[in-house]
Amino acid sequence: MTNLARLPLNLVFVGVLAALAFIDLAKFRLPDSFTLPLLGTGLLGAFLIPGNPNGWESLLSALGAGGVFWIIAQVCPQGMGLGDVKLVAAIGAFLGFPSIVLAVFIGSFVGACIGIFLLVTGRKHFQQQIPFGPYLALGAILTLLWGTQIFDWY
Count how many domains the chain has.
1
pTM as predicted:
0.93
How confident is the model at residue 3, as a pLDDT?
Answer: 76
Whole-number Å distance between alpha carbons of 69 and 67: 5
How confident is the model at residue 1, as a pLDDT?
Answer: 42
- The DSSP code sequence of 6-41 is GHHHHHHHHHHHHHHHHHHHHHS---HHHHHHHHHH
How confident is the model at residue 68, as a pLDDT?
Answer: 96
Q: Could you say which residues of the chain have pLDDT below 50?
A: 1-2
Quote the domain boundaries for residue 96. 4-153
Whole-number Å distance between alpha carbons of 89 and 76: 18
How confident is the model at residue 25, as a pLDDT?
Answer: 95
Cα 152 to the chain's mean position, in Å? 21
3-state secondary structure of 105: helix
